[in-house]
Structure 1
């Protein structure tokens, strides 16, 4: 005698809430966000995302309530491997550490939060050089009078603090931005794969079409390099390749590029954002003013021109541009190709 299958809706409705949340904790952020229009699923989706973030924090013997409160008051975010797992959980690896990014003016409050949870600073890496300021005024270059460019920004990082948990020897990193906006360094990451963050209120993914398919678009041009590619970036890419991710290069892989327009913001239609605390926003303070552009190349019949990644953010009524070098770098070929092509 055959037994009629039980409809999934019946199984779901009869399942304990803990089972529902446990199932949804394995879903990527786009799947969870797709459930928000449904009243019966919305609270489970938000709870699943919140618990996933809590699990990441607890893995490092930190109190999620205390850490998220600190993140809320200081505008600090989590990025790197931990944020990637919050966006798209993969069960075959765990983040070896967790990276907290904070604004330049709140570092003391951030470090104090971790010191109160048995973490001590064991190493500090200052930026190797200071940025140069170029103030640009007047209509000659079609820029507003409140525009300021800060080149050689060293990826917008002021200091990197490594903290160790005394009882367990686990480590976390606190990266101090050169800007009051904690998310400005993300524009200089090695690839779009890690351009994600967790804030006190939710999760954001800048390149979901790539990231959720385990792909990363390179944010430096490595074949052949005009600018030096740091071994740190090469090792980072290799680490993610060993975890099953793949990397691509060129405009044809980036759905966010429209002709020569490359500017991105965290509020544009390409970004996925999801709140897990309905009374808080994913983006707050200076982070809500950020726009950025990844690196790219323009090819000509004489060679190519390479453009650095850059980020713009509002600071004290000024629009500040950060870039790691002044202007584009070019390579002129001895014998130009028969036909020019552009594959930025």
Structure 2
């Protein structure tokens, strides 16, 4: 991950952030990388005994498929070893973070680098709440059914602005001050990409909001700010050295 600037995201990162709940687990490991780096990750996993079972690109995908629609991806490789699956997901840009801005909801807008864990919407995610990004209808409503029914998340299509100082309509950047960033013992090795930004599609403005800024700045004190507090809140089990 350090060599390629890749990140782990999707349900695998969420499962860790939620403290490895027994009620559900991630179906596979999603590894995102910048454009042109996918083959390095594929080669690595092949040395670990994984075999490629599917490879597709946006350019060659069948027109009847919606996999790449609004996904922020240029290529996807699925590898498998026994009952374990890994998806290598390649960004169309030089940033592995680009696909995160296209995710279906705030629930999965989290990532793990080689040196830190980042939650883009800690106020909601740590309370099992997700805000829908209506402009990215990936996989129809299947994801919504999965997270509401199987994983006990509350899904909000319209954000009740008076419940939080964090507005989903606010212009955001990867690793900004609204994120919960928990670094490991070593300094962060993957610098935030300030060119990667997003603003949620389809959510309503509140009366203090404008297209460029939101006057309700700052994130909720509920969110832990240190590694030890994060472990305590999520009840993670960290092996003794």
Q: Do both share a fold (TM > 0.5)?
A: yes
1:263-314 per-position Cα deviation (integer Å, ceiling 9, x unaligned): 0013332100011142333x427x3542211112569xxxxxxx9xxxxxxx
Structure with higher Rg: it is: 1
Deviates more, 1:233-242 or 1:72-81: 233-242
Partner-residue secondary structure (3-state), 2:35: coil
CA contact (8 A) 1:75 1:284 kept: no
- For the aligned residue pairs, the C-alpha RMSD in angstroms reads 2.7
In the other structure, the counterpart of 1:182 is: 96
1:45-96 per-position Cα deviation (integer Å, ceiling 9, x unaligned): xxxxxxxxxxxxxxxxxxxxxxxxxx00111000011100222222321111
In the other structure, the counterpart of 1:240 is: 147
Partner-residue secondary structure (3-state), 1:122: strand
Aligned match for 1:83, one of 13, 18, 33? 13
Structure 2-normalised TM-score? 0.73
Do structure 1's residue 155 and structure 2's residue 71 form an aligned pair? Answer: yes
Where in structure 2 are there 5+ consecutive unaligned residues? 62-67, 206-210, 212-241
More helix by share: 1
**Where do 4+ consecutive residues of structure 1 move more than 3 Å?**
none
In the other structure, the counterpart of 1:164 is: 80
Do structure 1's residue 96 and structure 2's residue 27 form an aligned pair? Answer: yes
More strand by share: 1
CA contact (8 A) 2:34 2:92 kept: yes
Do structure 1's residue 114 and structure 2's residue 48 form an aligned pair? Answer: no
In 2, distance between residues paired with 1:126 and 1:255? Answer: 40
Partner-residue secondary structure (3-state), 1:296: coil
In the other structure, the counterpart of 1:39 is: none
CA contact (8 A) 1:190 1:233 kept: no
Higher relative contact order (CA 8 A, sep 6+): 2
**In the TM superposition, what are the counterparts of 1:187-206 in structure 2 within 5 Å?**
187-206=101-120
1:177-231 per-position Cα deviation (integer Å, ceiling 9, x unaligned): 101100110111110000000000110000001100000000116xxxxx9x45x
**In the TM superposition, what are the counterparts of 1:219-298 in structure 2 within 5 Å?**
219-220=133-134, 229-230=137-138, 232-241=139-148, 242-253=150-161, 255-257=165-167, 262-281=170-189, 283-284=190-191, 287-296=193-202
Structure 1-normalised TM-score? 0.52
Q: Deviation at 1:124?
A: 1.4
